[in-house]
Structure 1
Amino acid sequence: MRSRQHRLLQRIAALCLHFPDAELFAQLPLARAAAAELPAAPRETVLALVDGLERLGPVAAGARYVELFDTKPGRCLHLTWYTDGDTRRRGGSLARLKQEFREQGFELTEGELPDYLPVLLEFAALTGTPGRDLLVEFRPAIDRLHQALSTVDVEYTGLVGALLSTVPLPRKGVRTVSATPPVEQVGMEPVLLGYPTTRAESHR
């Protein structure tokens, strides 16, 4: 794919990886039309997810989304969970990401966290190299998400796999992810860090 197609796929995926509420369903025809500009393999991947969402409808699609992404920390869309777990370090990582967004002229809306994969994808689609560099940094986390999804889902797994083709392999020195990200309960403020955490009772 060309660079423009990479960014288009990232923009479409940013939309499709949000919670499938009425607003997202209203934009699915746009995602379907935009996918026509992609090469065959990623286009079919996008269309498979769009078709699946439309087939389920908002209620069932929403329940499926919660089951996939909001109940198991190992399948979460907040990528610093994979690198930092529930530790103070995660707060620092989120602050650094917010600063990088500001330096490019972007501000998050209230309630958004900068490590949320759809937010990072939209940032990459709009900024090019700065956003791509962040995706490269978090590629090991996206890889882990892809692996975890592959055992329970087809359509979302396909989309995340297609996204990986737009993200170069990281150079040495990029933080890797561990099988079980660390937990640090003392002094933590989970409300500030946001879902997900490794605590079973946590919800979005």
Structure 2
Amino acid sequence: MRRKPAKLDLEDTQRAAAWQVQSLLLGYPDEALLDSLPMLARAVSALPEAVGAPLQRVLSYLETTLPLAAATDYVDTFDHRKRFSPYLTWFLYGDTRKRGMALLRFKQVYRAEGLVLGDEELSDHLAVVLEFASAHPVPGQQLLVEHRAGIEVMRMGLRESASPWTGVLDSVSATLPVLHGTEREAVAKLIAAGPPGEDVGLEPFAPPTDMPEFVADRR
């Protein structure tokens, strides 16, 4: 019998701190990010193991990898392969017109809290959503939960490719509620069919019959 994952008891301040660190580690590994690694390491050390340990793996990668190699790996991962897309609405709506309305939903939530993004930032980028959630936990978590299927598909794709950024998505997942039946079905559907408008699914991923794996590894 598969053991039911234990509920992770996170304090609000810990969750907000985790989202802030996750947001930064999803950014391009430029000089500013690399210079901030000691500070981020201190923040990660104060997090529960289920949330902090995955982030520690990302920190270790950035600390031990040449800056040019890390930058090249980042671009190859997030800019050249859609199945690792950090833009959450793409997973649900692909390149269809419905995606525009979904992006507007993010902007409206941000605007309600007094945040107006510049034209150079897309509102559904996971790093932007996490930064918003760190300052506004209730509406921020709601956005993350609404797009949980995309987050999980992205996480599984990064894991399949043994990407060092898998740890960020593992950590994000650990801050969110345990997946339930309908959410798992949504993830399986994305894996099988891919976003609307795409001719192929998000291969290579584990088939839907193996889906319990990403629930079982939750603390």
Match of 1:134 in 2: 143
Task: Give the Å deviation of 1:81.
Answer: 0.5
Task: Give the Å deviation of 1:57.
Answer: 2.6
Match of 1:166 in 2: 175
1:124 corresponds to 2:138: no
Match of 1:88 in 2: 97
Note the alpha carbon deviations across 1:92-112, whole angstroms, 9 max, x for none.
111121111001111113311
Match of 2:24 in 1: 15
1:52 aligns with one of 51, 61, 74? 61
Q: Which secondary structure does the structure 2 equivalent of 1:134 belong to? A: helix
Q: Which secondary structure does the structure 2 equivalent of 1:25 belong to? A: helix
Equivalent pair of 2:22/2:171 in contact (CA under 8 Å): no
Note the alpha carbon deviations across 1:8-62, whole angstroms, 9 max, x for none.
1111000000111112112222111111211234323222211211211321111
Equivalent pair of 1:83/1:176 in contact (CA under 8 Å): no
Q: Structure 2: which amino acid aligns with 1:3?
A: D
Residues paired across the two proteins, number: 185
Task: Give the Å deviation of 1:153.
Answer: 2.0
Match of 2:108 in 1: 99
1:152 corresponds to 2:166: no
Structure 1, gaps ≥5 residues long? 185-197, 199-204
Q: Structure 1: which amino acid aligns with 2:86?
A: L
Q: Which secondary structure does the structure 2 equivalent of 1:51 belong to? A: helix
Match of 1:76 in 2: 85
Match of 2:36 in 1: 27
Match of 2:196 in 1: 182
Q: TM-score, normalised by structure 2?
A: 0.77
Tell me: CA distance 1:153–1:85, structure 2 relative to 1, closer, same or farther (3 Å).
same
Equivalent pair of 2:23/2:130 in contact (CA under 8 Å): yes
Task: Give the Å deviation of 1:168.
Answer: 2.0
Task: Give the Å deviation of 1:172.
Answer: 8.4
Q: Structure 2: which amino acid aligns with 1:182?
A: P
Equivalent pair of 2:103/2:123 in contact (CA under 8 Å): yes
Structure 2, gaps ≥5 residues long? 1-9, 203-219
Task: Give the Å deviation of 1:76.
Answer: 0.7
Identity %: 35
Q: In 2, Cα distance between the equivalents of 1:180 and 1:113?
A: 21
Equivalent pair of 2:51/2:175 in contact (CA under 8 Å): no
Q: TM-score, normalised by structure 1?
A: 0.83
Tell me: CA distance 1:80–1:122, structure 2 relative to 1, closer, same or farther (3 Å).
same
